[in-house]
Amino acid sequence: MELGLRSRAALVTGASRGLGRAVAEALAAEGVDVAISARTAADLERTRADIAAATGARVIAIAGDLASEAGPAEVAARALAELGRVDVLVTNGGGPPAGPFEAHDRRAWRSALSGNFESAVELVRAVLPGMKERGWGRIIAITSIAAKQPVDGLILSNASRAAVTGFARTLANEVGRHGVTVNCVLPGYTRTQRVDTLAEKLAAARGCAPTDIVDEWASQIPAGRLGEPAELAALVAFLASERASYITGTSIPVDGGWIRGLL
């Protein structure tokens, strides 16, 4: 399917590995000029080189800490300077630490909100004016199944992802008339380093093997397995495309059927 993305420009955050990297690869494969961002410059540069070599696309690396007060604006400014514009913004914040409510102090809550919610708000603030001026834009927030069906032991993620969802849904109402769509993509249990780390932590607490935890998760998923990052990235690429111009204000799970709700 021709997605009509060739020559567009995108900024993808949290893109040195995992879901963000998969999204950057999918967009680059469609001919998009892609700016990727993450905290660690060395990891980011390796990812940039790999994606550029595999796709032939223009890929630039922008190291920055989106959890810092100035970080989102700085990253967005560099992307705009390097690419000339940002047509597609994909926000992808790192997962906050696991644990129950009483395990997290005020600092942990501030970190979760700044790294996931506030960073998304400030990135949008930086790129939305250009999208409105051009009459075309795609804003896609990678959140979590936790935004729709809270996951036990992930209270920081449950709360911060829900905040992003409320922001995105409201923003969609405000910018739709300008040709800008806003959607959320909700990854379920997917084979990433984040999920591996979570499995190891749970296994240590229960005195079992991480593979036992993964098998338990898989048993809860109608598809019978964990997802692959490329499967989520394919949806993001579609939502970024011309074909998805009438899809906005949605939150779409990519979870193998894990969420049990009707809507």
pLDDT per residue rounded down to tens, the chain (263 residues): 678 899 899 999 999 999 999 999 999 999 999 999 999 999 999 999 999 999 999 999 999 999 899 999 999 999 999 999 999 999 998 788 888 999 999 999 999 999 999 999 999 999 999 999 999 999 999 999 988 988 888 899 999 999 999 999 999 999 999 999 999 999 999 999 888 988 998 899 899 999 999 999 999 999 999 999 999 999 999 999 999 999 999 999 999 999 988 87
Q: What is the CATH number of the domain that holds 107?
A: 3.40.50.720
Pair (141, 194) in one structural domain: no
CB-based contact 46:36 (threshold 8 Å): no
**Are 146 and 26 in the same domain?**
yes
Count of beta carbons in the 10 Å neighbourhood of residue 36: 30
Q: How many independent structural domains does the chain possess?
A: 2
**Full residue range of the structural domain in which residue 194 is found:** 189-226
Locate 26 and state its tokens: 């999918």
In a domain, 263, yes or no: no
Q: What is the three-class DSSP state of 124?
A: helix
- pTM, entire model: 0.94
Please report, in angstroms and rounded to a whole number, the separation of the first and last CA atoms in the chain.
28
Pair (102, 42) in one structural domain: yes
Cβ atoms of residues 67 and 98 within 8 Å: no
Same domain, 113 and 148: yes
Residue 262 resides in a domain: no
37 pairs with which residues across the strands?
13, 62
91 C-beta neighbours (distance < 10 Å), count: 27
Together in a domain, 244 and 117: yes
Contact residues for 19 (Cβ-Cβ < 8 A; gap 6+): 92, 142, 187, 190, 192, 229, 232, 233
